[in-house]
Structure 1
Amino acid sequence: MARGKLITNLKKLAPAVILSLSLNGLMALIGTYKYSYDAYTHIFFADHYRRNWFSLWEPRWYRGFLITTYPPLTHQLLALISFAVGIETSFPVMILITGLLLAIGAYRLSGAFIDDKYRKYVALIVASYPSVGLMLHSYGQLPTVFSTALGTLALASYNDYLETSSRKDLILTMLLTSLTAYSHQLTVYFYVPFVALAIMLSKYERKNIKELFKKTVKLALLTLPVMLIPLIPYFASFRLLTSQEIIPHGSRENIFGNFIFSIMFFWGLYSFTITFLPNAIIIAFRERRTRPLLAAMLFFMILGLGGTTPLPKIILGKYWEILTYERFTFIATILYSFFLAIMLGDAGNIIDKYYLGIENPKPKPRVKRVIITAFMAAMIISYILASGTISSLKLHPRLAFDNALEDIAKFLDKDPEYYYITLELKSQRIRLNLLTSAPTLDGGYNSARQDPLLAESGVENIDASKHFPNGTKLLKILLSTAPEIGLKYVVCADEYYNPILLDYGFKPVKKYNSSPEITIWMLESVKTKVLQNPPPMPKYYVILWCVLPVSILILTTILYFKWRIIDEREN
């Protein structure tokens, strides 16, 4: 019986697996992730582990910073994959893995809220949801999506644990929840608790809520040590961080007051599916088990509107300005997919069954096939469009630097004892950071900045100085103190900065006929060499940070395959 169930699940998942691999494989070949906001930032972190796995100090950004300021697991997995395929190719490979895990996790979790006959549609919808394409390929937010996939698997195991009280389900939930925390700093604290509460409440008609609560408390007490001990270096690094001036972000604005923001933070994530929201409300009205799910979904949906509503400010207080809110909309879309699956499963009969309350409306198979085909075709098109949103809107233009970056990296490597900065290389600046061992004053992860000049500037990165109110002022301060701080080179791809560089004594020493043209500027009077002083850290932090997360992942993978696949097949 268990074997039959396993085979049935595999058959239901097969179309979603093929669809996920096809869509993510296509977008990976097109390479839209290369022009995303964050892809190269995460590749850079992975490159740190690839170069020196057991070091907690990264010297190439911000005059050096602690790598423990960002949870390690996603980056460590990228690094491990890179040993087989290369550091840049590891990112699209990880996208393929993440897309599969998310679709499978959503399929498994959906059993907590909806009937089994609808679940195959959940996997298909999540595999092709434009929010997934936007987050992975346009935003490059791999850790967010990967941690959500792990969190979804954890929640599915939590549901199993509440149903069975099995020790195996308890252990898997504990381990998967911990892996979620190792992958991203927010997912486990927002997504997992709220959806876990929805799962528990969905059982109130069949189960004793007090017993479910006791099980949940037991699970939490066992999970917390496993989850938090490897992250001790992360929490310890907080005391060393410098308070950062708030940097504006579109998701904290009224997103409907700006056309671009509305696409980036709403329409690009939901696409046409948001028009079916009334159906979800009616379904929850008829199906009690889905009501807690609807409440959780609406909570994340409203939170994801960011500055459009006062909710984030009310809930998060002064901390609301340090978060970005597309991540909450992304979570809402995953939960919304369960309702969309019901709509597909009952396609052709939604009005009769849910609006009119007819219990067993007459099936309309031809109408259902047409609706499902049209829906999935629209989802696939939306996924492809969302994956290329950033490039299509020219928010990150495709810079044709060809082989210039490799040559610039070789040039900088000849003088690695001095700092450099870039101007208008955009996302490709971090690719340059990957290619060279020379350190830069800039970087791609603001929270790690310890220099008060940068932290208090309100400028996201030096490379984009002219786009921030205080940016040109910051740049001039850096250039004026270049001899003292060891800033010898400026890699510039915008003539706007030429007069400023000349004013501070920099001279062009090399040009590249790329598009746009790149010029390397040098200040000959710089004699101060790079000197970094990493803060002392306990030696056992290396074990906690560099060994435990991957070890727990390996253990979880072995147990998951043993208990979820091998044992079920043998039974």
Structure 2
Amino acid sequence: MKQTNLLLLLALVIGLAFHGSALFFTLESTYDALIHLFFADHYATQWWEPWEYRWYTGFTVMGYPPLAHQMMALFSFLGGLKFGLYTVALAGVVLFITGAYRFGLLLTGNRRIAGYTALLAVGSSTFIETLHVFGQLPSIIGLSVLLHALPEIYEWMRTGRLIKLVMALSLIAVTVTSHHVTPIFGMVFFIFPLIGMAIMDDAREGVENARQITFKVFLSSFRKLFLRIVSFGAGSLVLIIVCILPYWINTKQNPITQVPIPHGSRDNFLEVTSSGLVFFLIPWGILLFLLPYLFYRFYSKRYLFFGISFSLLTLLGTGGTTPLPRLLLGDTAFDILTLDRFTLWATIMALPVFAEFMCRLVEGDLKQSLKERFGSIYHRLIGGFLVGGILFMVIFTMSLGYFRPSQPQKIKMLPIVNFLNQDMHDHWRYLTLGFGDQMAWLAAQTNAMTVDGNYHSARRLPELTTKAIERLENSKFRGVEGIGSLQQFLTIPEKYNLKYIFSNDKFYDPILYFCGWQRLQQLENGIMVWERLNVPPLPAIISKEDVPVYLKVMWGTIPVLTVLIAFFLNIHLLWLRAIKQRPLREPAYMYSWKKPKQFRPGLIYLNQGWALLVLLIMTYGGYKFYVENNAQRSPENVVKAYYDALDFKEFEKAHSYLAPSSGVSLDQYMLEVSVADGLLSSYAKLDSIGVELVSSSDQMARATVHTVWITPLETIRKSESQQLIKNGSSWYLVPKPPQKDIPPDQLLISNGTSFYNHGRRKITTQQTYNEDVLEQPVLEVLSASLVKNGDQYAIIGELQNLDRIPADVTLQATLYNEADITLTAYNAKYHIKHKLMPKEVTSFRINFEKIAWREQEEEMPSSFDPAQFSPVNLQELP
């Protein structure tokens, strides 16, 4: 019990209590957690089959290391998929806290400081964000296990004990099968500096003080440890290759063809401040105030290589703020990697040094130095500021998803699952719109297939890989790329056997309607089901890319075996330690750490100056934010705030910006809004706004407001004049008088024929009987002409329903050359009436479109244009 660290136990108790309880409120609304749940469902249902049919038109799960997913699948047999998800998440919390403790002990050789490291790891804002906002469980598992491997690697380098090499490699194998990026970059940013520190410690033993460690002495120690370095490096390389060999083979055979998808971590944080907040300020948190101390300690001779690594990670984590990360990584790696992982690693690397600082502040020389120079009150203020800053970052990060939700409201999936399971609806593919990452949870509960998916690196459809769009379901957020990709699926659904769409966002209603889709029903959870008729069902046999059996066996066995081997080795050694009578030998790193010198006054003043500078920058940033966002501070602000409230249907807020002297009540205002602007009010979203002040005085102003509204079908530009007055210190809009036109009649009577299809006459689960098959209406193309406008071809004409029953129309045109070889084909999109009553005639126009931006030389438009059209390039005359 003498060796038990009470701070570590306290950290574990607090960590499990805090994170364990918070997980149930945050994990399912994170970005990635439900994606991992879908992969876990795959392994739970078909462990040995790597091909997954349910996303896209099929993809292989060998594109992502499987350990975390397979562990969820195994635990799911005990309590279901979500039980497996939360169990693995809690295991990640424990592994991270204990890994941070061991990493802190490795760097400092002080159990007290290592205990502080574990405590600070619990409240680390970067860990909280990674777990509770991003839901990156495989990354957390991989990084945590890597932290556990570092002490074993150091011990092998210093002592040469073979058991340490075996334990280190066993943990590296677990890291490799958890996450493919962590071991590769972990070798560069964690293990290489660790090897450098081990060589430096070995060199230190041959001299009297650290100043005598010259390059010659360092090189001598390097030669001494060279064989150990090479043996570990060779073993790690073999494990990285063998443990996920199917992944490397799949990567070679199916290289990623996806065009780069924009990510906030690559933004210029000074221009896109929201990205700077999420990917820089929150991960660094309170550490921003201590950067001088962190760099000072990391660039001491023992930690020199960690200092270089820390500097590189800090630089790479700045994303597109400077051109240096792109120059260091290259264009390809910069566009593929999400750069927030570098900030994550930098802040984790800084935890032991931060813990050393806190230990010295609470009970060490820094406490004494501050008291002597500035008094005990100042010391308490500094301590309170740091602790308060940590607590503020914890609360702020945890509540980020509450104030700015990253997902739509939780959707009850059972009605959708029941719909797909009945009446053979799962014989067609479906598509979700406005579901967010919850589409992965729906996919995990049904065997029905979707053309969409949530792991863009695995998809192969050119309609998706040529667009910088993550998912079709949130296509409106990607502008021309998103809507352009979606409309190709909606126009030619038979190509993908796409019959049903579940819509949770009425923004898409116009494009669905004018592409020929019709509302089928609204489910009890509020989801609207859209259907497209005349779509053939999926074939009985769907093709797949098969792989050799030995790769399937490796993929299904090696990851779990790495966990069992690592678990056995560590538990075995713990058991031996428990039953041994003689005292245990302390690890080599316990003797290598030297207590830092007395806290230098210059460092105190430097860090105080830096902290004051950071505070001033934050204060100025907060003031600028207030000035730009205070709704009624200026005429421009109140106009923008008013239209923003209208855009988000916050009518009570919009009414508060109207001049009180106008006497317009809230009821009257909402009535006037409800009968104005039709399409704008129902479906349009505000794309941009410009405010031009025509005249202005201290109490009155007149502005011309230029707005651009978008729908999936067209862009609407409006310019209107607004009068503003100032009341006290606040500006208000003067409402315009309502339209006073009165329609001649309130009630209009019209005659029409309606049709009702009551469905099958015989209730059965068998295939539809012949007598239940609806009669196919007879249609006639009255006229059709091929026209050419510039280099664009189109077919225009008229179509009539000659029958006595309604017709749902899907009209396809094909162009042939003189040898009757097909050149291109496309369906009528918007320029046709897709539902024809008996004897009704419609005109049509079929434009021949291609998959846009497939060629590298094609430039994408800078802004969203719903009318964007990409004509097909024909090699021959039709």
Aligned partner of 1:113: which letter?
Answer: L
Which of 94, 99, 121 is matched with 1:100 structurally?
Answer: 94
Which of 217, 231, 235 is matched with 1:222 structurally?
Answer: 235
Instruction: Report SS of the residue matched to 2:98.
Output: helix
Residue matched to 2:21 = 26
Structure 1 position 442, deviation (Å):
0.6
Distance in 2 separating the partners of 1:163 and 1:173: 13
* 1:15-54 equivalent positions in 2, closer than 5 A: 15-29=10-24, 31-54=25-48
Distance in 1 separating the partners of 2:367 and 2:309: 24
Instruction: Report SS of the residue matched to 2:303.
Output: helix
Residue matched to 1:409 = 417
The answer to which of 223-232 and 185-194 deviates more is 223-232
Structure 1 position 540, deviation (Å):
0.7
Does the alignment pair 1:206 with 2:202?
yes
Instruction: Report SS of the residue matched to 1:244.
Output: coil
Structure 1 position 60, deviation (Å):
0.6
Instruction: Report SS of the residue matched to 1:547.
Output: helix
Kindly, what percent of the aligned residue pairs are identical? 27
Structure 1 position 150, deviation (Å):
1.1
Structure 1 position 417, deviation (Å):
1.7
Residue matched to 2:106 = 112
Residue matched to 2:289 = 275
Distance in 1 separating the partners of 2:6 and 2:240: 34
Question: Is the 8 Å Cα contact of residues 506 and 523 (structure 1) preserved in structure 2?
Answer: yes
Structure 1 position 65, deviation (Å):
0.5
Question: Is the 8 Å Cα contact of residues 31 and 406 (structure 2) preserved in structure 1?
Answer: no
Which of 570, 577, 589 is matched with 1:560 structurally?
Answer: 570
Residue matched to 1:343 = 357
* 1:512-523 equivalent positions in 2, closer than 5 A: 512=523, 514=525, 517-523=526-532
- Tell me the TM-score normalized by structure 1: 0.91
Question: Is the 8 Å Cα contact of residues 270 and 321 (structure 2) preserved in structure 1?
Answer: yes
Distance in 1 separating the partners of 2:445 and 2:457: 23
Question: Is the 8 Å Cα contact of residues 434 and 504 (structure 2) preserved in structure 1?
Answer: yes
Distance in 2 separating the partners of 1:196 and 1:242: 28
Residue matched to 1:257 = 271
Question: Is the 8 Å Cα contact of residues 319 and 339 (structure 2) preserved in structure 1?
Answer: yes
Does the alignment pair 1:121 with 2:109?
no
Deviation per residue, 1:398-448 (Å, 9 max, x gap): x142x3x11101211232221111111112211111121100001110000
Distance in 1 separating the partners of 2:84 and 2:342: 26
Instruction: Report SS of the residue matched to 1:488.
Output: strand
- Tell me the TM-score normalized by structure 2: 0.60
**Which structure shows the bigger proportion of residues in helix conformation?**
1
Instruction: Report SS of the residue matched to 1:288.
Output: coil
Which of 469, 481, 489 is matched with 1:459 structurally?
Answer: 469
Question: Is the 8 Å Cα contact of residues 64 and 532 (structure 1) preserved in structure 2?
Answer: no
Structure 1 position 205, deviation (Å):
4.5
Question: Is the 8 Å Cα contact of residues 241 and 448 (structure 1) preserved in structure 2?
Answer: no
Instruction: Report SS of the residue matched to 1:543.
Output: helix
Aligned partner of 1:134: which letter?
Answer: E
Structure 1 position 376, deviation (Å):
4.7
**Which structure shows the bigger proportion of residues in strand conformation?**
2
Distance in 1 separating the partners of 2:303 and 2:256: 44
- Structure 1 unaligned regions, length at least 5: none
Max Rg structure = 2
Question: Is the 8 Å Cα contact of residues 348 and 368 (structure 1) preserved in structure 2?
Answer: no
Question: Is the 8 Å Cα contact of residues 126 and 284 (structure 2) preserved in structure 1?
Answer: yes
Deviation per residue, 1:188-208 (Å, 9 max, x gap): 011233222212222315342
Instruction: Report SS of the residue matched to 1:256.
Output: coil
Question: Is the 8 Å Cα contact of residues 23 and 128 (structure 1) preserved in structure 2?
Answer: no
Question: Is the 8 Å Cα contact of residues 100 and 127 (structure 1) preserved in structure 2?
Answer: no
Question: Is the 8 Å Cα contact of residues 175 and 552 (structure 1) preserved in structure 2?
Answer: yes
Distance in 1 separating the partners of 2:360 and 2:328: 37
Distance change (3 Å), C-alpha of 1:163 and 1:51: same
Residue matched to 1:423 = 433
Question: Is the 8 Å Cα contact of residues 32 and 138 (structure 1) preserved in structure 2?
Answer: yes
Aligned partner of 1:520: which letter?
Answer: V
Which of 155, 168, 171 is matched with 2:166 structurally?
Answer: 171
Instruction: Report SS of the residue matched to 1:111.
Output: helix
Distance change (3 Å), C-alpha of 1:365 and 1:226: farther
Structure 1 position 273, deviation (Å):
2.3
Distance change (3 Å), C-alpha of 1:298 and 1:391: farther
Distance in 2 separating the partners of 1:108 and 1:69: 32
Question: Is the 8 Å Cα contact of residues 33 and 138 (structure 1) preserved in structure 2?
Answer: yes
Distance in 2 separating the partners of 1:379 and 1:352: 19
Deviation per residue, 1:154-205 (Å, 9 max, x gap): 1121112122211111001111112111111211011233222212222315
Residue matched to 1:290 = 303
Instruction: Report SS of the residue matched to 1:521.
Output: strand
Question: Is the 8 Å Cα contact of residues 176 and 556 (structure 1) preserved in structure 2?
Answer: yes
Distance in 2 separating the partners of 1:392 and 1:198: 40
Distance in 2 separating the partners of 1:464 and 1:45: 21
Residue matched to 1:244 = 258
Residue matched to 1:511 = 522
Residue matched to 1:524 = 533
Question: Is the 8 Å Cα contact of residues 32 and 388 (structure 1) preserved in structure 2?
Answer: no
Question: Is the 8 Å Cα contact of residues 63 and 441 (structure 1) preserved in structure 2?
Answer: yes
Distance change (3 Å), C-alpha of 1:332 and 1:284: closer
Instruction: Report SS of the residue matched to 2:320.
Output: coil
Residue matched to 1:549 = 559
Instruction: Report SS of the residue matched to 1:307.
Output: helix
The answer to which of 225-234 and 46-55 deviates more is 225-234
Residue matched to 1:502 = 513
The answer to which of 231-240 and 219-228 deviates more is 219-228
Distance in 1 separating the partners of 2:55 and 2:401: 25
Q: Relative contact order (alpha carbons < 8 A, sep ≥ 6): 1 or 2 greater?
A: 1
Does the alignment pair 1:332 with 2:332?
no
Residue matched to 2:452 = 442
Structure 1 position 256, deviation (Å):
2.9
Aligned partner of 2:258: which letter?
Answer: Q
The alignment's C-alpha RMSD in Å is 2.6
Structure 1 position 474, deviation (Å):
1.2
Question: Is the 8 Å Cα contact of residues 23 and 384 (structure 1) preserved in structure 2?
Answer: no
Instruction: Report SS of the residue matched to 1:536.
Output: coil
Distance in 1 separating the partners of 2:460 and 2:16: 41
* 1:124-135 equivalent positions in 2, closer than 5 A: 124-135=119-130
Distance in 1 separating the partners of 2:449 and 2:390: 43
Structure 1 position 93, deviation (Å):
2.1
Instruction: Report SS of the residue matched to 2:406.
Output: coil
The answer to which of 243-252 and 86-95 deviates more is 86-95
